[in-house]
């Protein structure tokens, strides 16, 4: 049989273990709380930015026709990009088709519009798409063209 004094030493280590585990769980829980607060703040900020972007996009379509060299509007650019991606065999372009259809135009100036990852210069009639995926970073450049009496067409002129 063991000595009662030894039993108390075992109880001491047991209590120390419980205290250490409790402190660890408290620290992890507090860290998780701080993380969740930061995550919630970032989510709220993203939602505010999304709401502001939607409001601006709604204003783009309601304004007068863009006056620039090409006379291209944000919605015409969006439709031309969608048609180009639908015709394309490029898997990277195809992967963003749903987002392109879903995103509204966000005007940063009368000549500069963002539609998701697409940046369009309406005055110059050009666009750039920057995509990062598991294969790396790809950048597409292109132009908008309007044949006489036809609809705007987007064409990729370069891929990096």
Going by C-alpha positions, the residue among 135, 111, 139 that lies closest to residue 123 is: 111
CA separation for the pair 86, 48 (Å, rounded): 31
Tell me the average pLDDT across 34-51.
69
- DSSP label at residue 44: H
Q: Between 126 and 66, whose confidence is greater?
A: 126
The average pLDDT across 34-40 equals 66
Q: Per-residue pLDDT for 4 more than 70?
A: no
List pLDDT tens digits, range 90-148: 888 888 888 888 887 777 777 888 888 889 998 888 999 988 877 778 899 999 988 77
105, 82 in Cβ contact below 8 A? no
Q: Which helix (H) or strand (E) holds 139?
A: strand 136-145
Q: Directed axis angle between helix 4-62 and helix 74-87, to 10°?
A: 110
Q: What is the pLDDT of residue 94?
A: 87
The residue ranges of every structural domain in the chain are 1-63, 66-159
């Amino acid at each position: 049989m063991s000595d009662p004094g030894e039993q108390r030493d075992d109880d001491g280590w047991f209590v120390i273990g419980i205290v250490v585990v409790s402190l660890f769980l408290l620290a992890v829980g507090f860290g998780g709380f701080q993380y969740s607060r930061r995550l919630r703040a970032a989510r709220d900020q993203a939602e505010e930015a999304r709401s502001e972007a939607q409001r601006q996009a709604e204003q783009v379509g309601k304004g007068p026709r863009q006056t620039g060299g090409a006379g291209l509007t944000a919605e015409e650019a969006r439709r031309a990009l969608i048609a180009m991606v639908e015709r394309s065999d490029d898997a990277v372009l195809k992967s963003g088709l749903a987002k392109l259809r879903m995103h509204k135009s966000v005007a940063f100036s009368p000549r500069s519009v963002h539609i998701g990852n697409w940046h369009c210069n309406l005055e110059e009639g050009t666009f750039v798409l920057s995509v990062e995926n598991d294969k790396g970073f790809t950048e597409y450049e292109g132009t908008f063209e309007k044949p006489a009496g036809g609809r705007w067409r987007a064409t990729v002129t370069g891929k990096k």
